[in-house]
Structure 1
Amino acid sequence: MTEPVGMRLNQYPADPGGSPGGSTGPGPGGLPDFGSSPTEKKAAAKAIEDHIEPDTKKAGDVADEETNAAVKAFAAKDGHGWVTSSALKKAHKTWGEQVQNLMNRLGSEKTALRSTNTLFLNTDIGVGNGVRKSSSLDGF
């Protein structure tokens, strides 16, 4: 005789799954442990700089060349070209702005990854100095 099959929605699955990059499993609170060591942050910033930014720029440049060629192909020399030409040109402008926003975001993320350790160190030093100034042991 087989046991009835049911579903329980009031619990987490036994194995919530791993995170990308070979994580060692869930961190505090059952959430995946995302790499946050200084070494992992350096590696992520380097990957953005060495691969993701240049590859994104290269892909954007190729698309620019091909789209400009298509716009020209649909445009007529007498000024009465296909509507597709102007629509494609407008879509290309919007897409170019999105690529630029992505490049800016990648640069920001790279900078943030590189500066996080400095930020935490400076915060720790600042808190330490603040605690030291207000120590009640200084009166003895």
Structure 2
Amino acid sequence: MAGSSGEHAVSMRLNQYPADPGGGGSTGGGGPDLASSPAEKKAAADTLYNEIEPHTTTAGAWADDETSAVVKAFDAKDGHGWLTSGAVSKAHTTWSEQVQNLVKQLVHDESALRNNNTLLSGTDFGVGAGARKVSVLDTYSLPPEQ
């Protein structure tokens, strides 16, 4: 209770940001591991392209081979088979689609990292050019000073 020895008052403020909103590290929130320089973005894109995408595709192909073996082993022989064969085949179809979607997302992320600087620079130039177009007011001349 309040005032007893060894206990500390606890308070909470909801109108401010936490001291460490991202949790630190590479786990999120724009922590210190966020790739922001062109070199870091290129390195991240290269890692996606050279490491993560091929390993994901290889893992998916390995699972295809292993699952096909399971489906074949439980498939109907002499007119009798296990229900497991059809269930594993359906589950594998869904899983395979998910792997393909993951690889597509990785390719998209890689492309976004590679094109990010171009996109931002192009936007900056576009905004700059549009900000100083000839105004209708520029056509009016000031009356000569008398």
TM interval, short-chain normalised: 0.7 to 0.9
Shift of 1:8: 2.0
Mapped partners of 1:71, 1:97: distance in 2 = 17
Gapped runs of 5+ residues in structure 2? 142-146
Task: Give percent identity, aligned residues only.
Answer: 54
Shift of 1:40: 1.6
- CA-atom RMSD in angstroms: 2.7
Give the equivalent residue in structure 1 for 2:70: 70
Q: Determine which of 17, 24, 41 is the counterpart of 1:18.
A: 24
Mapped partners of 2:71, 2:11: distance in 1 = 55
* Regions of 4+ moved over 6 Å: none
Mapped partners of 2:6, 2:45: distance in 1 = 54
Shift of 1:35: 2.5
Higher helix share: 1
Gapped runs of 5+ residues in structure 1? none
Give the equivalent residue in structure 1 for 2:43: 43
Deviation per residue, 1:65-93 (Å, 9 max, x gap): 11000001111222321000000001001
Mapped partners of 2:112, 2:18: distance in 1 = 34
Give the equivalent residue in structure 2 for 1:53: 53
User: TM (normalized to structure 2)?
Assistant: 0.77
Mapped partners of 2:90, 2:113: distance in 1 = 35
Mapped partners of 1:40, 1:93: distance in 2 = 36
Q: For residues 43 and 87 of structure 1, do their structure 2 counterparts lie closer, same or farther at Cα, with a shift above 3 Å needed?
A: same
Q: For residues 79 and 107 of structure 1, do their structure 2 counterparts lie closer, same or farther at Cα, with a shift above 3 Å needed?
A: farther
How many residues get paired?
133
Give the equivalent residue in structure 1 for 2:100: 100
Q: Which has the larger radius of gyration?
A: 2
User: TM (normalized to structure 1)?
Assistant: 0.80
Give the equivalent residue in structure 2 for 1:2: 6
Q: Which amino acid in structure 1 is aligned with residue 117 of structure 2?
A: N
1:84 aligns with 2:88: no
SS in 2 for 1:20: coil
